Amino acid sequence: MLPPIGPYSIALPVAALLMASRVASAATLPASAAPGAEARVDQARRAYAASCAMCHGDRGEGLVAPAIRPLPVTLAEARAIVRAGRGEMPAIPSAQLSDPVLSLILADLANSE
Ligand code: HEC
């Protein structure tokens, strides 16, 4: 079954491959014990780079997917989109991206331009 031809239909499979190849490095990110604000931003950005950047751009400025910095939806909506997927965005399960790390990513996207 072929998806309809859309703006993302060529770039997305490429991005999905990139994502798959980066899952291994994302899994080895150190889980900081009690991170301070700076460490949280650092961890959020590294996790973003591993899980979101290949579609949404290095800083969330948009690439093959829409810009998400600053976050255009509420934190709860963003969490639901990441977990369930939407349109051509695949769902990202907690086995691949933990809830606490997803929270760090979304807080960083919401709190910066
Ligand atoms: C494989 C590519 C891909 C990856 C990886 C990806 N996204 Fe997306 N994302 C998309 C696409 C495509 C859309 C547009 C979906 C639609 O509405 O059709 C989208 C939409 C969104 C939206 C809604 C934007 C809006 O304007 O309403 C949010 C929020 C979002 N993504 C967050 C994330 C976060 C956070 C990550 C990383 C944890 C991530 N995405 C990873 C492709 C991706």
**Residue 79 alpha carbon to ligand 1 centre in Å:** 10
**Residue 25 alpha carbon to ligand 1 centre in Å:** 20
pLDDT for 21: 53
For 18-51, the pLDDT digits (tens) are 565 555 444 445 554 455 889 999 999 999 999 9
- Nearest-CA residue for ligand 1 atom 25 is 72
Q: If you classify domain 11-26+34-110 with CATH, what class do you get? A: mainly alpha
Between residues 5 and 28, the one the model is more confident about: 5
Q: Domain extents for the chain?
A: 11-26+34-110
CB 64 within 8 A of CB 12: yes
Q: What's the predicted TM-score (pTM) here?
A: 0.79
For 44-100, the pLDDT digits (tens) are 999 999 999 999 999 999 999 999 999 999 999 999 999 999 999 999 999 999 999
Enumerate residues 6+ apart whose C-beta is below 8 A from 82. 91, 92, 97, 102, 106
**Residue 1 alpha carbon to ligand 1 centre in Å:** 23
Residue 72 is given by DSSP the state: S
* 13 touches ligand 1 (CB under 6 Å): no
Main-chain dihedrals φ then ψ at residue 96, nearest 5 degrees: -95, -30
